[in-house]
Chain A
Amino acid sequence: MFGSWTFAKKLALGYGLAALTLLVIAAVSYRTTDELVANDDRLIESYAFQAALADLLSDLVDIETGARGYVVTGDSAFLEPYQVALGEVKGHQSTVTALVAGNPARQSKVAAMQPAIVRKLEHARKLVDTRNNAGFDAAAKLVANNEGKAEMDQIRAILGDLDRQESERIGSLVAAGKTNAQWTLAIILWGGLAGVVVVAAIGWLIIRSLTKQIGTAVQHVSSSSTELQAAANQQATGLREQATAMSEITTTITELLVTSRQIAESAQRVAQIAAQTAGGARSGQGAVDLAQDAIGGIRRQVDQIVAYMLDLGRKSQQIGAVLDIVSELAEQTNILAINATIEAAGAGDSGRRFAVVADEIRKLADRVGGSTKEIRALIDDVRSAVNTTVMATETGSKAVDSGSKQFDDVASGFRQIAELVGTTTDAAREIELSTKQQTTAVEQVNIAVANVAQASHETEASAGQTLQTASELAHLSTDLARIIRPQAVAA
């Protein structure tokens, strides 16, 4: 049961028992000392009473002696003790009266002595007055009648009785005081010894119990401090790694912050460019509308060109037909000229002139034929060019149709582009806003991470301090164990 008590309980019990022992010793000592003091007071009172009695007696003796000396010598020098004692006797009487207060026996004796004192003082004054007034003889008679002596004897007897009784009382008080002092010394001695024994026993029990409990606790503290040391070391390592990681995260977030700012700037530029593109798309749509009108005009012009070209082709065909006739005539002329030449050659010398004419006709026919061929070639070229032009024009017309359709598609595309660019502008602005918000968030995260890194550093320092404290605690537990169980530590 005692082993499960707390330190406070054990210490309270130990100190309580010690205090109780001391209290008993103190109470007994107090009581005996108090009785001793009271005994001393009574002794002092008795000694004071005896002194007051002696003073009163001395005053009365001085009064009697001074009065008788003055009576005998007439020298006023003898009156000086008389005067002094006469002045003090009242005070001493009051002291004696005060000292006997509460003691009826003494009061009765003192009361019985008061008239005698009055009469003695009256007798002495009477002697002095008589010596002064009537001279020595009258005064000597007063002395001789023993009136003063009887008063003085009565006073002496009462004072002697009081002094004896007081001496007896002093003797009994001294004996009682001695007894009390012996008791007090015995109590102090044996009580102190008993207290020492009790305190030593309690201390031994407490020390034994506390040593056992503190030793167990110190072992636990030592084990816990070792574990705490390992944990603090591990925590410090982890916090260093965490601080390093936080530093890397801070660096990464800083780079991310820079990137976010660049993205925000790019998004802003994209928004501006998208707005410009939207303006350009609107301008392009207007230009496309104008181009569509122009293409309509071109289409009409192309149709007219096709009509003209077809007409030109027909005219070329007509020219070709006429030219066929001319060509045939030239050929016939040529044949005729050749035959004429043949005939002229057959006519001999008479046909020479005719041969010249025939040759000229042949030349003319050849030239006409050549020109006809050239014209035909030209007409063919014209017809080919017309056909090519018509085909090209038809192709151009188709291209214009296709272009018109493509322009419709382009116009539709421009409208879509304008709409999409508007959407892109909104999206770019949203991206810009979001990126700015992200930048702000990243800045806050950066600050938070910096704070966390700072906290990690501080925690690392705290872990170092914890490690140091754990080490100190381990040393302290070792020291404490050495203090409470040196043999165990040494083992």
Chain B
Amino acid sequence: MSDNRAQFLDRAAALRDAFDRSFAEPLPPDPPPFADLLAIRIGTEPYALRLCEIAGLFADRKITPIASRVPALLGIVGHHGAIVPVYDLHVLLEHRAVDATRWLATAADTPVAFAFAAQEGQLRCRPDAIVPHQSDGPARRHAREFIRIADLVRPIVDLGAVIAELRRQVPAKLNAANLNMEEC
């Protein structure tokens, strides 16, 4: 019992030191380039989203369902005074739809949001950690790149490709939005 207490105290002290050190140390003059990713889980498969492709992450937002012939469309949600459609990322990535899609990520530069069941935190990695899809690897829809972290390979969802797919399915509505996706 005393060993656990000491362990917890040491850990708290380490956290405190790290937190204080982050403010105490000077900023690197030329920090190395990095890529920020958002680790998510689609069904049982791990995925990642580029933070540069999303405009925000939200949880437990109320989605107003609407009738549509598009299977992936869950409904609409209000975001910064605008109404954006919400699509189920599980369906778009050809996974089984789930009932509880707690998380919502809005796409950058496009008024559309994607719902998914779970997010597993932010990932920051070097750019060379991101590798393109290889022909002999497992095929994932709308995933051209992968990131390997501790033997775990996460396909990186290409939201631009997803939005292009949506555009093909509902071109009138999306074209009315007149949005463009750019590489980040």
Contacts and interface: CB of A to CB of B under 8 A. Distances in A.
Given A360-B19, A364-B19, A338 B58 contact: no
Interface stretch (B48-56, B142-150, B153-161, B167-175): B48-56
Interface string A343-363: 001100000110010011011
Interface stretch (A123-131, A329-337, A473-481): A329-337
Interface string B8-19: 000100010011
Given A359-B124, A367-B15, A338 B51 contact: yes
A337 B58 contact: no
A260 interface: no
Interface in A150-167: none
Given A345-B51, A356-B27, A367-B15, A338 B59 contact: no
A362 B122 contact: yes
Contacts of B121: 334, 366, 369
A339 interface: yes
Contacts, number: 46
B51 A331 contact: no
B125 interface: no
Nearest to A355: B36
A77 interface: no
B38 interface: yes
Interface in B1-43: 11, 15, 18-19, 22-23, 27, 31, 36, 38
A4 B43 CA distance: 145
A338 B51 CA distance: 8
Listed residue (A342, A346, A352) with the most chain B CB atoms within 10 angstroms of its CB? A342
B51 A335 contact: no
Contacts of A337: 122
Contacts of B38: 338
Contacts of A331: 59
A366 B18 CA distance: 13
B120 to A, nearest CB: 10
B76 interface: no
Contacts of B36: 341, 345
A206 to B, nearest CB: 141
A375 to B, nearest CB: 10
Contacts of B23: 360
Listed residue (A334, A337, A338, A360) with the most chain B CB atoms within 10 angstroms of its CB? A338
B51 A341 contact: yes
A338 B122 CA distance: 7
B67 to A, nearest CB: 30
A339 B56 contact: yes
Given A345-B36, A366-B121, A367-B15, A339 B27 contact: no
B57 A342 contact: yes
Nearest to B54: A342
Interface string A363-402: 1101101010000000000000000000000000000000
Contacts of A352: 31
Nearest to B23: A360
B31 to A, nearest CB: 8
A389 to B, nearest CB: 16
A363 B54 CA distance: 20
Contacts of A360: 19, 22-23
Contacts of B18: 363
Contacts of B27: 353, 356
B124 A342 contact: no
Contacts of B56: 339, 342
Interface in A228-258: none
A136 B15 CA distance: 229
A345 B53 CA distance: 11
Contacts of B58: 335
Contact of B55 (A342, A353, A362, A369): A342
A359 B22 CA distance: 10
A335 B52 contact: no
A301 to B, nearest CB: 21
Interface in B130-144: none
Nearest to B58: A335
Contacts of B124: 359
A341 B123 CA distance: 11
Given A360-B19, A360-B22, A364-B19, A335 B57 contact: yes
A334 B38 CA distance: 11
B57 A338 contact: yes
Contacts of A367: 15
B133 to A, nearest CB: 24
B87 to A, nearest CB: 19
A83 to B, nearest CB: 189
A356 B52 CA distance: 16
A370 to B, nearest CB: 9
Nearest to A378: B4
B107 to A, nearest CB: 11
A345 B37 CA distance: 12
Contacts of B57: 335, 338-339, 342
Contact of A335 (B11, B19, B31, B59): B59
B34 to A, nearest CB: 10
Interface string B54-83: 111111000000000000000000000000
Contacts of A369: 121
Contacts of A334: 121-122
Interface string A265-280: 0000000000000000
Given A337-B122, A338-B57, 10 more contacts: A334-B121, A335-B58, A338-B51, A339-B57, A341-B36, A346-B108, A364-B19, A366-B121, A369-B121, A371-B11
Interface of A: 331-332, 334-335, 337-339, 341-342, 345-346, 352-353, 356, 359-360, 362-364, 366-367, 369, 371
13 contacts: A332-B59, A334-B121, A334-B122, A338-B57, A339-B56, A341-B51, A341-B122, A342-B55, A342-B57, A345-B36, A345-B51, A366-B121, A371-B11
Interface of B: 11, 15, 18-19, 22-23, 27, 31, 36, 38, 51-52, 54-59, 108, 121-122, 124
Give the top 6 A-B pairs by smallest Cβ distance, nearest first: A360-B22, A338-B57, A339-B56, A342-B51, A338-B122, A335-B57
